[in-house]
Structures are given as structure tokens and as C-alpha cells.
Amino acid sequence: MQKEIKLTDKANTVCLYKILEKYSDPEHIIMMSEIIERFKEDYGMTIDRRTVYSSIDTLRNLGYEISQYDRSSQGYYLMSRLFEPSEIRLMMDAVYSQKSIPNKQTGYLIEKLQSCLSIHQKRQYRHLFTADPDKKTPNRSVFFNIDSLDEAIARRQKVAFVYQQYGLDKRLHPRRKEKYVVSPYSMVCDNQRYYLLCIKEGKDDISHYRIDLMDEIVILDKPVDVAPSKVDINSARKTVYAFAGQPVEIKLRCKNDVIGGVIDEFGTGVNIVPDTDGHFIAKLKSAPQGVLYWSMQYINDVEIVEPADLREKAIALIKNNLYGV
């Protein structure tokens, strides 16, 4: 037990809020006697009922929703939190499924999210884990990378970095000896990975680099090659699987059964026109290489109609498959 100390009114109020946040919720009302006991056990502090009443009034005046005693005739509980349990669950699911967040940092984030819950609410999530930890990136610098890139984008300065790839030993290795030098413009999350949208030095088109494969990022004392206002970032963000390339108008003929897959991938902005024989026509604008590879998973349901060169690439890809059929 901690040594008893004399409290200021401000300390009383803060400690009371932490007690209500940790031990109370609508299903677990905390009585006055327990509040006083928690002050002593958790903070080594002695407090009386009048001080608790005063601190509750202070919290209410600050906008915190605390139940009225006469509602429960038992005690008090915190009626609203920074995040509600359902919101915490959604964010936990996102952290668990995000492949660009390493396992160790996943644990830290989950712990921080759950700190917004009472100890009773936390028990609902004791059996929730990452489906496959092996799919998480081993790069522990992802958040540092994002911070560095965000700073460079804000300062409109180039960055240099080592870009890595997996070897047969399943470890990350530099793709080449020289560092990549790019003009950074934006970051995007696509298919559970974070990507940097940038223009490589000496190039004109937008490129995508996975942030979890970057290492040794350095912000250079060089301005970006192209002003951000002249870069079509919105179109680049709509690429499929983060494939680089200039977005083009694409026409697909799809079976009605795959409308969900089309909307999931291209959003509700895609132009849908009913066609014959249980099909529809989808018109969209995106990087062709990404659409090509996306369509392969629906090879019996999606047909690339236009542009002609993309259709020919799809035909060649199917003919030259490794199965020889």
C-alpha cells in the first residue's frame, strides 16, 4: 500500500475519474464505500464522502456523464467514455488484421485501446487474437517510418530510404545497394498495407512503395521535384493493389453475382449499367495493372472489355499460366 498523502481538489477529481473509468460501467455500479476503498488501495489516499460528492460535481461540470445516485440507489458509474465498447471492438479488429503493424506493436495498441474500458468490459476480449501472426510484418519501424514520411510530406522535401524484399530465408534484405530517392506526396492504406505515393527521382509517374518494407529513412535537404498541387494524388489513391501507373478508363463485363466484389474494390463511384444474360457493365478509372490482377480472381465472372491492350494482356496472362492448360 502506498503512503497516505494529502490531496488537492484537482488530484481528487482526477483520481475519481480514473476509478470510475477502471471499475464501473452500466452493469457494474460502484458504491461509495468501494470508491473510498479504491482511493486507499490504488492511490494510498484517504478521502471522505463529501470530497467524493464534490469531485463528482466537478466532473459533471466538465462534461463527464456520471450516473445520478438516485437512478441506481446503489452508487455511481461512468455513463460515457472516449470510446464505447463497440467502437473499441472495431478498432481492435482493424489493428489485429492490419498486416503492416508488427506483432509487438499490435499488443501495445490493443492494450491502449482496452485502457478505455472498465476491467469488466475487458474480459469480453480475453479470447480475441490475431488470426495469423506470421502474416504481420517483422519491421518494427513502421510507425517511425510513417512519422518521418509525414514530416517530409509536410515540409515538401525528398526522402531517401533502403527498400527491402524477402529472401528465401524469410527475412528482409535490401533490394539494392543504393538508396531510393523520391519526392513524397501522400500515404494510403490499401489491402491492409501502408503505401507511400511518390515520384521517383528521374521519373514522371506516381510510384507506390510499401512503408513496412522501408528502412533507414532520411529526410533530405532537397525540395520535391513537382509541386504537390500539380500531382494527381486523388487518382493515384484509387489504384488497385497499389499498382503504379496512370489511371485509364476501363470497361468490364461482369456476372451479377460479383457486384459485391466490384463495389468492395472500386467503391460506389463505379458506373454500373445492366447488361444481358445476367451480366452488368462496370465502367471505372484506375491503374490498369491492378485491375488486370484483380480480375484474375474472378476469371469466370469478369471480362475486361476495354481498353483493347489491357484485354490482350489478360488473354496472354491466361494462356501463359504455369499449369500449361
pLDDT at 38 over 90: yes
pLDDT in tens, 168-195: 777 889 999 999 999 999 988 777 788 8
C-alpha cell at 311: 484485354
Segment of 129-138, 261-270, 272-281 carrying the highest mean pLDDT: 272-281
Is 94 or 213 the better-scoring residue by pLDDT? 213
Size (the chain), residues: 325
Q: Where residue 95 falls among pLDDT bands split at 50, 70, 90? A: confident
CB 284 within 8 A of CB 247: no
Cβ neighbours around 128 below 10 Å, total: 11
C-alpha cell at 155: 515540409
Cβ neighbours around 282 below 10 Å, total: 22
Mean pLDDT across 75-97: 84
DSSP character string of 250-290: EEEEEEGGGHHHHHHHH-TTSEEEE-STTEEEEEEEE-HHH
- Whole-number pLDDT of residue 1: 44
SS3 state of residue 55: helix
CB 287 within 8 A of CB 244: yes
pLDDT in tens, 40-62: 998 888 889 999 999 999 999 99
pTM: 0.64
pLDDT in tens, 242-259: 566 678 899 999 999 888
The alpha carbons of the chain give a radius of gyration, in whole angstroms, of 27
- Whole-number pLDDT of residue 180: 96
SS3 state of residue 12: helix
C-alpha cell at 114: 482496452
- Whole-number pLDDT of residue 131: 52
Examine residue 307 and say whether the peptide bond preceding it is cis (omega within 30 degrees of 0): yes
